[in-house]
Amino acid sequence: MHIREIFNKKKLVFSFEIFPPKATSSVNTIYKTLEALSDLRPDFISVTYGAGGGSNQNKTRELSSLVKNKYGIESVAHLTCIRSTKDEIKQILEELEQDGIENILALRGDIPLEDEVKGDFSYASDLVKFIKKHGRFDLGGTCYPEGHMDCKSLEEDVKNLKYKIDAGVTHLISQLFYDNNDFYKFLDLTKKYNINVPIEAGIMPLTNNKQIARIATLSGSKIPDKYFKIMDKFAHDSEAMMDAGIAYATEQIIDLITMGVDGIHLYTMNNPYVARKTHDNIIQIIHSVNRD
């Protein structure tokens, strides 16, 4: 099923994101993770695509196929284009189609360094146009409530977002964020620029202090003072920190749902415990919205 049909049917969509394991870690871990996550019956599970190349990229296909064909949950394969040729992308599209995968999150990927290979595409919108010509996939795109790191302003970034929508993206998944006001301001801007597709809010519970430095460098998302206070108090106790991070994310999600968000996309970090606890905290709220 195309993800846009799920958005058409449901007032509130709930999805998970997983990533293929590194070549060095046991592949059994991800199978166990998938088993546990699929029990929670999200509307879809998306599988990231390693920007660094190698076997990890084939794993995206394998895991997306498993989600769909073994667990009967709709899957979304992430696909980046900045390092790829048109022929390479064509081949990946054929393979995904062979596995019955119907949905792709079309991404640019991070800009390669000077000495790294560049491909035939400049932006996610180029990939969207290319896939539209060469496959029958439903296409999602990303958005950045605090603005993308490469862009000089949030408003400029939202203007650029429109290229993806005009190229054929039917829904958006947001970068993670920790202050809902940033998301609401971003939504106001999308209205100003006539972006009318459903937008899922990306939420990642911060459950240990190592994640915090990584988040700041990788996504550029602001971490509110409230969160640092929680860390100061509980970082020495991993279980307490885990519960505090889940509680923070739960509060964020309830506020977003109350304000009428189209969907919640949970970055699970392949951690079924965090996904289950967060899910259990909000599932009755999700059911209630979808019953109305």
Catalytic residues: 17
The answer to whether 14 contacts ligand FAD (rule: CB under 6 A) is: no
Site for ligand FAD in 79-138 (CB under 6 A): 80, 107-110, 123-125
Q: How near is the Cβ of 240 to ligand FAD at its closest, in Å?
A: 29
Least distance (Å) from ligand FAD to the CB of residue 150? Answer: 4
* Residue 38 found at the interface with ligand FAD (CB under 6 A): no
Torsion angle of C-alpha atoms 25, 27, 29, 35, degrees rounded to 10 = 160
Helix (H) / strand (E) containing 176: strand 171-176
Contact call for residue 64 and ligand FAD (CB under 6 A): no
Q: Is 61 near ligand FAD (CB under 6 A)?
A: no
CA-closest candidate to residue 228, choices 214, 244, 217, 243: 244
Contact status: 48 vs ligand FAD (CB under 6 A)? yes
**Contact between 262 and ligand FAD (CB under 6 A)?**
no
9 vs 5, 12, 23, CA distance in Å?
6, 9, 38
Full DSSP string of 8-75: HH-SSEEEEEE-PPPTTS-HHHHHHHHHHHHTT--SEEEE---TT-SHHHHHHHHHHHHHHHTT--EE
Q: Are strands 138-143 and 44-47 parallel, antiparallel or unpaired?
A: unpaired
Within residues 166-205, the interface with ligand FAD by CB under 6 A covers 173, 175, 202
Number of residues binding to ligand FAD, judged by CB under 6 A: 23
Q: Which is nearer to ligand FAD, 110 or 243 (CB)?
A: 110
Residue placing its CB nearer to ligand FAD in the complex, 68 or 108: 108
- Contact region with ligand FAD (CB under 6 A), list: 5-13, 84-92, 142-150, 243-251: 142-150
Q: How many residues does the chain have?
A: 292
Cβ atoms of 3 and 76 within 8 Å: the answer is yes
Binding site for ligand FAD (CB under 6 A): 48-49, 51, 78, 80, 107-110, 123-125, 142, 148, 150-151, 157, 160, 163-164, 173, 175, 202
